[in-house]
């Protein structure tokens, strides 16, 4: 709980800083009348709105599970990320509209020197905030904080591009480049928003995060015990920072319920300890059958009915399938 409370505090400070940065950017726009600066300022509105909802989602996700939410409240983080991504994409479209309008109307810009300094300072601030959020999000496995950090870092890079564009305009005197730069930044911002929305929709739809699933399967494979004869039908669902894993594990049929429970408990503790994640397991225990002997590594098994054929490595390709591997091995051997 301490980590979640820490996340909330960090997000609150980032939100306050974001509001200050937004104010500075709009001051810079009023000074310069630059559409490139306006594009940066409009994205800051998105930062503040999305940051506010992100703070709310972190508070809600930190609540313990209850009768109405037996899996907890972590899914709200995906909703928060999808909102942020949608707002980012909307900001990109608004920036393109403003840039085209400026090209048609021929808006003049001025006071680029002071404006450039103001905008550059906000870029540095956003970069630092983005690094803090992204590192904190990765460490605590919070998609909300990761998405916010990615957004702020992309904002910092777009601000750097804005500053570069303002310098080029000052050197060349070609004011129409301001709208061109603004549209280029808008396309980048739009693409970032679409990626965040795509990832959040995947989480809402319980799409398997193959990177996370592969990491967990490797942990089990690297510390596999002979009694864990087979694993299949492996599935991972993310509820915010909490992972819910269900799978089938084949154990010797002659194990007592107590012994089988001890093996499953050890497997679950192994993954939790090695991954450093908040993991909840739902493991279905299968008793071994004669076809399991071909992949069983208990060489001194007192009831073995078939010779050992080969060890089936546990990878995403083998554990995601809903089929016992002993049967597959026997078919290939035959």
Contacts of 112 (CB under 8 A, 6+ apart): 32, 34, 166, 169, 170
Mean pLDDT of 154-160: 75
Instruction: Kindly report the backbone phi and psi dihedral angles of residue 253, in degrees, each rounded to the nearest multiple of 5, phi listed first.
Output: -65, -25
What is the distance between the alpha carbons of residues 258 and 128, in angstroms, rounded to a whole number?
Answer: 52
Please tell me whether residues 37 and 133 are part of one structural domain: yes
Please tell me whether residues 100 and 235 are part of one structural domain: no
Please tell me whether residues 273 and 245 are part of one structural domain: yes
Q: For the chain, how many structural domains are there in total?
A: 2
What is the distance between the alpha carbons of residues 230 and 221, in angstroms, rounded to a whole number?
Answer: 11
Please tell me whether residues 283 and 221 are part of one structural domain: yes
Of 138, 173, 204, the residue at which a domain comes to its end is 204
Please tell me whether residues 146 and 222 are part of one structural domain: no
Mean pLDDT score of the chain: 79
Please tell me whether residues 62 and 131 are part of one structural domain: yes
For the cut 60, the answer to whether the pLDDT of residue 92 exceeds it is: yes
CATH number at residue 270: 3.30.70.1350
For the cut 60, the answer to whether the pLDDT of residue 2 exceeds it is: no
Least Cα distance to 221 among 321, 319, 326, 309 occurs for: 319
Please tell me whether residues 100 and 151 are part of one structural domain: yes
pLDDT on residue 232: 92
For the whole model, what pTM was predicted? Answer: 0.57
Mean pLDDT of 230-237: 89
| pLDDT > 90 in the chain, percent | 16
Q: What is the pLDDT of residues 276-333, one digit of tens each?
A: 777 888 888 999 999 899 999 999 898 999 899 888 899 988 898 888 876 444 444 3
Q: Select the more confidently predicted residue: 263 or 59.
A: 263
Of 138, 171, 204, the residue at which a domain comes to its end is 204
Q: What is the pLDDT of residues 108-147, one digit of tens each?
A: 555 567 777 888 888 888 888 888 888 887 777 776 777 7
CATH number at residue 171: 1.20.1510.10
Please tell me whether residues 124 and 222 are part of one structural domain: no
Please tell me whether residues 181 and 248 are part of one structural domain: no
Q: By residue range, what is the domain housing residue 26?
A: 2-204
Please tell me whether residues 113 and 67 are part of one structural domain: yes
Please tell me whether residues 214 and 183 are part of one structural domain: no
Q: Select the more confidently predicted residue: 236 or 35.
A: 236
For the cut 80, the answer to whether the pLDDT of residue 256 exceeds it is: yes
Of 143, 170, 204, the residue at which a domain comes to its end is 204
């Amino acid at each position: 709980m301490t980590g979640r409370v820490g996340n909330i505090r960090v997000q609150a400070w980032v939100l306050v800083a974001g509001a200050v940065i937004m104010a500075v950017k709009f001051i810079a726009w009023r000074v310069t009348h630059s559409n490139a600066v306006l594009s940066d300022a409009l994205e800051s509105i998105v930062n503040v709105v999305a940051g506010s909802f992100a703070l709310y989602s972190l508070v809600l996700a930190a609540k313990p599970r209850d009768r109405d939410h037996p899996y907890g409240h972590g899914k709200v983080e995906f909703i928060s990320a999808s909102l942020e991504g949608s707002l980012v994409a909307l900001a990109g479209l608004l920036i393109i509209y403003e840039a085209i309008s400026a090209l048609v109307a021929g808006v003049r810009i001025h006071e680029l020197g002071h404006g450039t300094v103001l905008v550059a300072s906000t870029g540095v601030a956003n970069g630092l905030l983005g690094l803090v959020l992204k590192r904190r999000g990765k460490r605590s496995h919070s998609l909300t904080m990761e998405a916010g950090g990615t957004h702020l870092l992309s904002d910092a890079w777009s601000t750097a591009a804005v500053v570069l564009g303002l310098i080029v305009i000052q050197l060349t005197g070609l004011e129409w480049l301001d709208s061109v730069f603004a549209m280029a930044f808008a396309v980048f911002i739009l693409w970032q928003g679409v990626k965040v929305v795509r990832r959040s929709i995947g989480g809402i739809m319980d799409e398997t995060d193959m990177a996370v699933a592969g990491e967990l399967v490797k942990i089990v494979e690297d510390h596999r015990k002979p009694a864990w004869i087979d694993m299949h039908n492996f599935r991972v669902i993310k509820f915010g920072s909490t992972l819910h894993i269900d799978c089938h594990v084949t154990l010797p049929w002659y194990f007592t319920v107590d012994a089988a429970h001890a093996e499953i408990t050890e497997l679950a503790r192994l993954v939790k300890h090695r991954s450093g994640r908040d993991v909840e397991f739902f493991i279905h225990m299968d008793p071994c059958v004669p076809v399991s002997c071909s992949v069983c590594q208990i060489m001194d098994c007192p009831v073995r009915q078939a010779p050992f054929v080969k060890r089936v490595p546990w990878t995403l390709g083998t554990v995601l399938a809903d089929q016992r591997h002993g049967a597959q091995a026997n078919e290939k051997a035959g």
